[in-house]
C-alpha cells in the first residue's frame, strides 16, 4: 500500500472554531513543534500543528490514498477547499498534526470525534497518512507517537484505530504503539471491487 495508516472517518468534528485560534500557541515557527517520546531515527522530520496553508499538501496526500489504497474508504478525491474546511472543523480537542521534511508536508495525522454522543467525549479515533515517497523513514511512527502524546495532554481515556484488511504494516505499527485488536467488522466496505473487513484496535491511555 502507498500509505501507512490507521484508518479514520476523514472528517467529523462538529466544532467550528477558527483554525487560527487553534494555532495561536507561541512557537519558533507559525505552529508549535510537538515533542515526541520515541527514538529519533530521522532527525530531519518535524511534527507540528497543522495550519490552514497546509490544506493543499494534506489534500494531495489524502487523494493519493483515496485513488491507490484501501487505507480510506473515501472513493472520490477531495478538493483543497474541502480539506481546508475539514481542517477548520478540527477544534482544539481534535487536532491535526503534520510531518514536515525539508519544508515539505509529507504526512498528517488527526484525532477525530468517535461519536457525537456526549458519553463518548473521552474517546477519539486516530488517523494518519504518509506520502508513498516518504515511507520507510519512521514518519508514520513519529506521527502516531505525537498524536498519542497530544491525546494524553487532552485527557482522553481511549483511542481507536480502524484498519482495513491487508494493511499488515499499519497493524504492526499500531501494535508497537500499544494498540490491541478488539474486533473485526466483516465485509463492511467495498473498494476496488472487493468487499473488505475492518479491524478495530484500541489503546487505553494511562
Q: What is the CATH number of the domain that holds 58?
A: 3.40.630.30
Cβ(206)–Cβ(157) below 8 Å: no
Cβ(157)–Cβ(123) below 8 Å: yes
31-54: pLDDT as tens digits: 444 443 333 455 599 999 999 999
| Count of structural domains within the chain | 1
Residue 66 in this model has a pLDDT that exceeds 60: yes
Terminal CA-CA length for the chain:
32
CA 115-96-125 angle, to 5 degrees, is 30
Residue 9 located in a structural domain: no
Residue 44 located in a structural domain: yes
Q: What is the mean pLDDT of the chain?
A: 84
Residue 192 located in a structural domain: yes
112-151: pLDDT as tens digits: 999 999 999 999 999 999 999 998 889 999 999 999 999 9
Mean pLDDT of 58-80: 95
Q: Which three cell numbers stand for residue 63?
A: 487523494
Q: Which residues neighbour 205 within 8 Å (Cβ) at sequence distance 6 or greater?
A: 148, 151, 152, 156, 157, 158, 159
Residue 11 located in a structural domain: no
Q: Give the strand pairing for 45-49 and 96-101.
A: antiparallel
Residue 4 located in a structural domain: no
The rounded distance, in Å, linking the Cα atoms of 27 and 202 is 32
Q: Which three cell numbers stand for residue 130?
A: 504518509
The rounded distance, in Å, linking the Cα atoms of 119 and 20 is 28
Segments forming the whole domain that contains residue 26: 19-204
Residue 144 located in a structural domain: yes
CA 126-131-134 angle, to 5 degrees, is 115
Cβ(150)–Cβ(95) below 8 Å: yes
Residue labelled with grid coordinates 489524502: 62
Of the candidates 54, 71, 55, 50, the one whose C-alpha atom is nearest the C-alpha of residue 2 is 71
Q: Is the pTM of this model over 0.95?
A: no
Residue 30 in this model has a pLDDT that exceeds 50: no
Residue 105 located in a structural domain: yes
Amino acid at each position: 500500500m502507498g500509505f501507512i495508516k490507521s484508518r479514520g472517518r476523514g472528517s467529523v468534528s462538529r466544532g467550528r472554531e477558527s483554525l487560527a485560534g487553534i494555532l495561536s500557541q507561541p512557537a519558533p515557527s507559525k505552529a508549535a513543534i510537538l515533542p515526541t517520546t520515541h527514538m529519533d531515527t530521522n532527525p530531519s522530520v518535524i511534527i507540528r500543528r497543522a495550519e490552514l496553508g497546509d490544506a493543499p499538501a494534506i489534500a494531495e496526500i489524502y487523494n493519493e490514498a483515496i485513488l491507490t489504497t484501501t487505507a480510506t474508504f473515501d472513493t472520490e478525491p477531495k478538493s483543497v477547499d474541502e480539506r481546508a474546511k475539514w481542517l477548520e472543523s478540527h477544534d482544539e480537542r481534535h487536532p491535526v498534526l503534520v510531518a514536515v521534511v525539508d519544508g515539505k508536508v509529507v504526512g498528517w495525522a488527526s484525532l477525530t470525534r468517535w461519536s457525537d454522543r456526549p458519553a463518548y467525549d473521552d474517546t477519539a479515533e486516530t488517523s494518519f497518512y504518509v506520502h508513498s515517497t516518504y515511507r520507510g523513514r519512521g514518519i508514520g511512527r513519529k506521527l502516531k507517537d505525537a498524536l498519542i502524546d497530544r491525546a494524553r495532554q487532552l485527557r482522553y481515556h481511549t483511542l481507536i484505530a480502524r484498519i482495513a484488511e491487508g494493511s499488515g504494516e499499519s497493524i504492526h505499527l499500531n501494535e508497537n504503539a500499544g494498540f490491541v485488536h478488539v474486533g473485526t467488522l466483516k465485509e463492511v466496505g467495498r473498494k476496488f471491487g472487493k468487499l473488505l473487513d475492518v479491524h478495530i484496535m484500541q489503546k487505553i491511555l494511562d
